[in-house]
Amino acid sequence: MNVSQMLAHCNVTYEMVYTDKHPKPGPFMRFILKTIIKKTVVSEKPYKKDNKTAPQFIIKEDKDFDLEKKRLIDHVNKTLELGENYFDGKESNSFGILTKSEWNNMFYKHLDHHLKQFSV
């Protein structure tokens, strides 16, 4: 993954919140995500290196760095403008209802993980 692909990859998290671009997982997959994966994603514990990623997060094609950077900044700004209370009790496509702390952890951990990966 190059830097442009990483930015596009990070945008997927926000696309899942703000768009219908990525369909919700089916009932069985959602059960698996909620019971096995959720704790890793929404806890305060940092991600381990080389974790597997969901198919919708895999970016294979080349991406435009400036466009993906702008999109990511816009997503982060929108999230900040909405504020933490907007997210408290909001349903995640993959993990069900989350607290504002769980949303915050998920957003932060994902960006932090990849920015550190690329020494940003």
What would the pLDDT profile of 12-67 be if each residue is shown by its tens digit? 999 999 999 998 999 999 999 999 999 999 999 988 887 888 888 999 999 999 99
Distance between CA 5 and CA 24 in Å, rounded? 22
pLDDT tens digits, 84-95: 999 999 999 999
pLDDT at 2 over 90: yes
The type of residue at 7 is: L
Q: What is the pLDDT of residue 97?
A: 96
CB neighbours of 68 closer than 8 A, spacing ≥ 6?
Answer: 4, 7, 8, 11
Half-sphere exposure of 86 (CA within 13 A, CB side): 9
Distance between CA 75 and CA 48 in Å, rounded? 25
Reference 115, options 1, 16, 6, 5; nearest CA is 6
Average pLDDT of the chain is 94
